[in-house]
């Protein structure tokens, strides 16, 4: 067993001392930017899922570096956020201390894995020199009315004690608390107007060829572009623009339903209906908007009526539980004859149901298929698909409506009522209103009281301030920003980490960006990956970026499960600590194992046996290079290594690491006692991206450079002799077959006949009969030496032996005399 601990520490130290992975812009070199989604540094440290994703990225970064690219490969910490604050409350330590201790531990562990980051570029989002620029971006958005405050029904998690963005509500539950229903509260909150970019965010997906379809589809659905018509209904003298995808059913409207959470609901409720409506709204307040589809449709009459724009009929307006407050106008024109939700509602409250499209039986259920219009005045007799267009055109002509596009995507709610986040840099002044802070950053106060609501609110020194405009008394905003703000632009800051004059130097960002390979999990499809695209577009519009999208390629890694196939978790007792494994087998073996079991994009289970097998292979490499004679390689080895270089290069390029490793293992198996220096070095280079420490160690026997900075081996097509390799490997099989036959019959042979197949059998083979005969004749002396007897080689056509019939191409019949 080789002393991996010593070797790994030695090379980690050397890489650091010699700043081997430090990079700077270099116009003469092509750049390549590899980035892994940065972690939240929790006190539990690195887990195996982390080691897996970093190993994937590190192999890629090393590969690109050796291929001559100037590789930017940084690491940082998404270190603001709730868990630190909760831990602080529980353990009575300050979130800053908790966070910084965690980061130290993370860095140490990552260094143990041999990751080739440029550590000079480390980002810590809780550092005021970083979040200063979060605040700066916020104020740029504020200036352009893209950051605004409004009161609206919002999602509130009672466990997080803060509001959540729509993206953070999963099936009506908090994304951090799968057991906690999100409540609806009416609060005044800060939003970023991501909807201004909805169209571009949607359209841009079509150009992201390097992103998996899975992610693009999730985003498409989340953005939810929908084409329809906006129709004006008058209610109490005011126009309400109602969004519908089915203007063809306009004559079938028999009631309207406004969302019970609508901010303008009060305007619609008449005096005598107030009590009833209030009761209904109260009952609903504990139900999230996301659960809407599963609820029984319910509602109450508001007392108001809408005027149908074409028939002038009076239509009752209900407040209901199945209409989204912030989609369209928050009110629907209900067509019970042709929409199932409306049908159920109408049945429950005895409202009229009207047929306007022929085809179904609207006494039983809503008819939602195609058909001909009836009861629709001058549109009768038209196919409903056609009617969508005609009715919209008519409404347009009469100035009663127009085509409209709606997005499911909502503005991003970024207010959080918690301490450990970026302070929103706004001051409230009675005279001046919302005033942006002039001197950034607004720092988080150090001394705060935890556990009694938002610690910033109770901190008088923080709250009380002067108005930057009139110098009068004013109060600071105490909400902090969602931590997804911090990760929406971090990839840019890596390009220019120490800039304290500007968010970054444009020239540096122009050189490094976009990210060429972004690596992360699919759970971020609708959160982080939408936000980072939004920020990129906004900063581009400020004139700071030339790019439209943050990343050209996105690689989504698989999930590593416990040995039992379950998600690793403490309660199941199947957690694997990477440091344990590094102590037992070394980082090189762990790295190799993590990418050899499966393709990096698929899920796989932890498996001790495979890790041990990786460990044995690494040891075998060590042993081989310690005793190999550097001299000449055989033709066969030359051929094999050149072909391996060719194939492994393609495998790594396409993230087929597991296949590359199979080929590396096979190559080592074929190696002979003597090989030439170039072939030995080529093997080590291929091996180095997976097991960099041992590769450096073995490389240092022949060279004084770092293998990590060497160039990737080139293959020579002329040296690849496929036929020779086929013959050689069948020859090996032949020898082992002869051996087992001799063992079976238990006598010493005098003479052995080898009969190759009929020439007609070779038609489809790559090797012809003639070539096999020649090869065996050339190898006769090897056979005779090995078995210490005479060998006779012949063709099936010429043989009188019964066994000749069994001969096949590359599988000669063996007759022992
Ligand atoms: C009348 C109608 C008749 C509708 C019919 C459907 C079928 P997408 O495709 O998702 O955009 N709608 C409008 N605003 C809504 C809101 N705030 N909450 C819930 N539903 C709302 O769906 C558009 C359709 O969803 C609209 O078309 C409207 O119902 C409903 F036979 O209008 B429809
Ligand atoms: Zn929560
Ligand atoms: Zn003022």
Residue 537: its H or E element: helix 528-541
Kindly state if the Cβ of 324 falls inside 6 Å of ligand 1.
Answer: yes
Residues 314 and 291: beta-carbon distance below 8 Å: no
Task: Calculate ∠ Cα 760-761-764, nearest 5°.
Answer: 105
From CA 773, how far away is CA 769, in angstroms rounded?
Answer: 6
Confidence (pLDDT) at 286: 59
DSSP code of residue 37: P
SS3 category, 543? coil
Please tell me if the CB atom of residue 262 comes closer than 6 angstroms to any atom of ligand 1.
no
Q: Is the CB of 134 under 6 A from ligand 1?
A: no
CA of residue 670 relative to chain centroid, distance: 39
Query: In which band, very low, low, confident or very high, does the pLDDT at 195 lie, cut at 50, 70 and 90?
Result: very high
Query: Which ligand is closest to the CA of 370, given by its number?
Result: 1
Separation CA 418–CA 160 (nearest Å): 9
Give the pLDDT score at 44. 84
What's the distance, CA 165 to chain centroid? Answer: 19
How confident is the model over 402-413, as pLDDT tens digits?
999 999 999 999
Residue 357 gets the label, from left (phi > 0), alpha (psi -120 to 50) or beta, of beta
The CA 176 to ligand 2 mean position distance, Å, reads 5
Looking at the chain, the whole-number percentage of residues with pLDDT higher than 90 is 80
- Does 341 sit in the ligand 1 pocket, CB within 6 Å? no
Residue nearest to atom 8 of ligand 1 (CA): 226
Among left, alpha and beta (phi > 0; psi -120 to 50; other), residue 350 is left
Selection from 98, 163, 170, 99 nearest residue 130 by Cα? 99
Q: Do residues 279 and 270 touch, judged by C-beta distance below 8 A?
A: no
**Minimum-distance ligand to the CA of 241?**
1
- Give the position, in ligand 1's atom list, of the atom nearest the Cα of 325: 17
* Nearest Cα residue to 669 out of 727, 729, 709, 710: 729
Q: What are phi and psi of 225, to 5 degrees?
A: -70, 135
> pLDDT for 226-270, tens place per residue?
999 999 999 999 999 999 999 999 999 999 999 998 989 999 999
Nearest CA to ligand 1 atom 5: 339
Residue 385 has pLDDT above 80, yes or no: yes
Query: Does the beta carbon of 410 sit less than 6 angstroms from any atom of ligand 1?
Result: no
Q: Which of 143-157, 294-308, 613-627 has the highest mean pLDDT?
A: 613-627
Indicate which ligand has the atom closest to the C-alpha of 428. Answer: 3
- The predicted pLDDT at position 70 comes to 98
| 428 alpha carbon – ligand 3 mean position (Å) | 8
Q: How far does residue 335's CA lie from ligand 1's centre (Å)?
A: 10
Could you tell me if 414 and 485 are in contact, meaning their C-beta atoms sit under 8 angstroms apart?
yes
Q: What does the pLDDT look like over 540-594, one tens digit per residue?
A: 999 999 999 999 999 999 988 988 888 887 777 888 889 999 999 999 999 999 9
Segment of 87-91, 184-188, 257-261 carrying the highest mean pLDDT: 257-261
Q: Which atom of ligand 1 is nearest to the CA of 245?
A: 27
Distance from the alpha carbon of residue 174 to the mean position of ligand 2, in angstroms: 5
Predicted confidence (pLDDT) per residue in 629-651, tens digit:
999 999 989 999 999 999 999 99
Q: What is the pLDDT of residue 151?
A: 86
| Helix and strand counts by DSSP (H, E) for the chain | 25, 33
With the most atoms of ligand 1 within 8 angstroms of its CB, the residue from 299, 327, 370, 388 to mutate is 327
Name the percent of the chain lying above pLDDT 70. 99
CB 258: neighbour CB atoms within 10 A?
28
**Among residues 711, 706, 703, 704, which one has the least CA distance to residue 686?**
711
Is the shortest distance between the CB of 246 and ligand 1 below 6 Å? yes
Q: Which ligand is nearest to the CA of 82?
A: 2
Length of the chain: 817
Contact present, 306 and 341 (Cβ < 8 Å): no
Ligand of minimum distance to the alpha carbon of 181: 2
Ligand 3 centroid from CA 480, angstroms: 22
244 C-alpha to center of ligand 1: Å? 5
Pocket perturbation via mutation, ligand 1, pick of 152, 202, 223, 245 by most ligand atoms within 8 A of CB: 245
Strands 813-816 and 751-756: antiparallel
For ligand 1, say whether the CB of 332 is within 6 Å of any of its atoms: yes
Pocket test for ligand 1, best of 241, 332, 359 (most atoms within 8 A of CB): 332
User: Please, what is the average pLDDT of the chain?
Assistant: 94
Nearest listed ligand to the Cα of residue 465: 3
Cα separations (Å) of 646 from 267, 678, 686, 707, 726?
A: 72, 15, 11, 19, 17
Phi, psi angle pair for 255, to nearest 5°: -160, 170
Ligand 3 centroid, distance to 149 Cα (angstroms): 18
Residue 184: φ, ψ to 5°: -100, 125
Residues, CB-to-ion distance under 5 Å, ligand 3: 429, 431-432, 467, 469-470
Among the listed residues 535, 610, 611, 558, the one whose alpha carbon sits nearest the alpha carbon of residue 580: 611
CB atoms within 10 A of CB 815: 19
- Examine the pLDDT at 483 and tell me if it is beyond 90: yes
Is pLDDT of 453 > 80?
A: no
Q: Is the CB of 406 under 6 A from ligand 1?
A: yes
Pairing relationship of beta strands 480-481 and 415-416 according to DSSP bridges: antiparallel
């Amino acid at each position: 067993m080789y002393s991996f601990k010593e070797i790994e520490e030695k090379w980690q130290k050397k890489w650091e001392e010699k700043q081997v992975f430090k990079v700077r812009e270099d116009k003469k070199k092509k750049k390549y930017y590899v980035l892994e989604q940065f972690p939240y540094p929790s006190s539990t440290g690195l887990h195996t899922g982390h080691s897996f994703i970093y190993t994937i990225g590190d192999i890629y970064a090393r590969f690109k570096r050796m291929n001559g690219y100037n590789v930017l490969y940084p690491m940082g910490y998404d270190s603001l956020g709730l868990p630190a604050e909760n831990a602080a409350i529980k353990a009575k330590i300050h979130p800053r201390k908790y966070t910084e201790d965690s980061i130290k531990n993370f860095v140490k562990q990552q260094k143990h894995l041999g990751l080739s980051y440029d550590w000079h570029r480390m980002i810590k989002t809780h550092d005021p020199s970083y979040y200063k620029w979060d605040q700066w971006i916020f104020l740029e958005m504020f200036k352009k009315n893209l950051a605004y405050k409004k009161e609206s029904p919002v999602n509130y998690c009672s466990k997080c004690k803060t509001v959540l963005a729509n993206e953070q509500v999963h099936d009506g539950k908090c994304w951090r608390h799968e057991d906690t229903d999100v409540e609806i509260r009416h609060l005044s909150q800060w939003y970023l107007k991501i909807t201004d970019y909805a169209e571009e965010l949607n359209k841009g997906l079509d150009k992201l060829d390097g992103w998996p379809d899975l992610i693009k589809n999730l985003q498409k659905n989340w953005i939810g572009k929908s084409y329809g018509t906006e129709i004006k209904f008058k209610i109490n003298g005011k126009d309400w623009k109602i969004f519908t995808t089915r203007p063809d059913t306009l004559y079938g409207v028999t009631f309207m339903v406004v969302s019970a959470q609508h901010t303008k609901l009060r305007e619609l409720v008449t005096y005598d209906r107030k009590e009833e409506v209030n009761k209904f709204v109260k009952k609903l307040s504990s139900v999230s908007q996301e659960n809407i589809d599963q609820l029984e449709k319910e509602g109450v009459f508001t007392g108001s009526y809408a005027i149908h724009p074409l028939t002038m009929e009076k239509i009752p307006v209900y407040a209901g539980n199945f209409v989204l407050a912030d989609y369209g106008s928050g009110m629907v024109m209900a067509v019970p004859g042709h929409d199932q939700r409306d049908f159920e509602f109408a049945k429950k409250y005895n409202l009229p149901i009207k047929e306007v499209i022929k085809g179904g039986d609207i006494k039983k259920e809503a008819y939602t298929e195609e058909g001909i219009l009836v009861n629709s005045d001058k549109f009768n007799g038209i196919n409903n698909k056609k009617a969508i267009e005609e009715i919209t055109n008519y409404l347009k002509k009469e100035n009663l409506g127009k085509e409209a596009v709606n997005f499911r995507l909502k503005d991003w709610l970024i207010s959080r009522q918690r301490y450990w986040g970026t302070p929103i840099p706004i001051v409230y002044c009675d005279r001046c209103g919302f005033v942006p802070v002039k001197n950034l950053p607004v720092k988080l106060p150090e001394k705060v009281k935890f556990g009694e609501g938002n610690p910033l609110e109770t901190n008088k020194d923080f709250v009380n301030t002067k108005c930057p405009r009139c110098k009068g008394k004013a109060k600071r905003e105490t909400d902090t920003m969602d931590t997804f703000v911090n990760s929406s632009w971090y990839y840019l800051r890596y390009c220019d980490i120490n800039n304290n004059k500007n968010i970054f130097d444009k020239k540096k960002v122009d050189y490094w960006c976009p990210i060429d390979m972004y690596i992360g999990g699919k759970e971020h499809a609708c959160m982080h990956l939408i936000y980072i695209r939004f920020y990129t577009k906004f900063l581009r519009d400020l004139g700071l970026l030339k790019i439209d999208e943050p990343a050209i390629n996105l690689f989504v890694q698989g999930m590593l499960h416990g040995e039992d196939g379950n998600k690793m978790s403490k309660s199941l007792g199947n957690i694997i600590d990477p440091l344990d494994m590094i102590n037992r087998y070394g980082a090189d073996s762990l790295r190799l194992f993590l990418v050899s079991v499966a393709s990096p994009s698929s899920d796989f289970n932890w498996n001790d046996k495979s890790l041990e097998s990786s460990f044995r292979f690494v040891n075998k490499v060590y042993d081989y290079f310690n005793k190999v004679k550097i001299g000449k390689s055989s033709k066969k080895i030359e051929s094999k290594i050149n072909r391996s270089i060719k194939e492994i290069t393609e495998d790594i390029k396409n993230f087929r690491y597991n296949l590359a490793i199979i080929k590396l293992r096979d190559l080592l198996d074929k190696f002979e006692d003597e090989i030439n220096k170039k072939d030995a070095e080529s093997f080590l280079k291929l091996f180095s991206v997976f097991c960099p420490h041992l590769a450096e160690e073995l490389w240092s026997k022949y060279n004084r450079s770092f293998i990590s900075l060497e160039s990737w081996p080139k293959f020579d097509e002329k040296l690849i002799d496929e036929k020779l390799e086929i013959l050689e490997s069948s020859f090996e099989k032949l020898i082992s077959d002869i051996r087992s036959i001799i063992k079976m019959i238990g006598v010493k042979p005098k003479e052995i006949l080898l009969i190759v197949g009929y020439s007609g059998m070779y038609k489809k083979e790559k090797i012809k009969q003639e070539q096999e005969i020649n090869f065996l004749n050339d190898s006769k002396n090897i056979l005779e030496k090995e078995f210490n007897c005479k060998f006779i080689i012949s063709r099936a056509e010429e043989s009188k032996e019964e066994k000749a019939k069994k001969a096949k191409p590359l599988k000669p019949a063996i007759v022992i005399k």
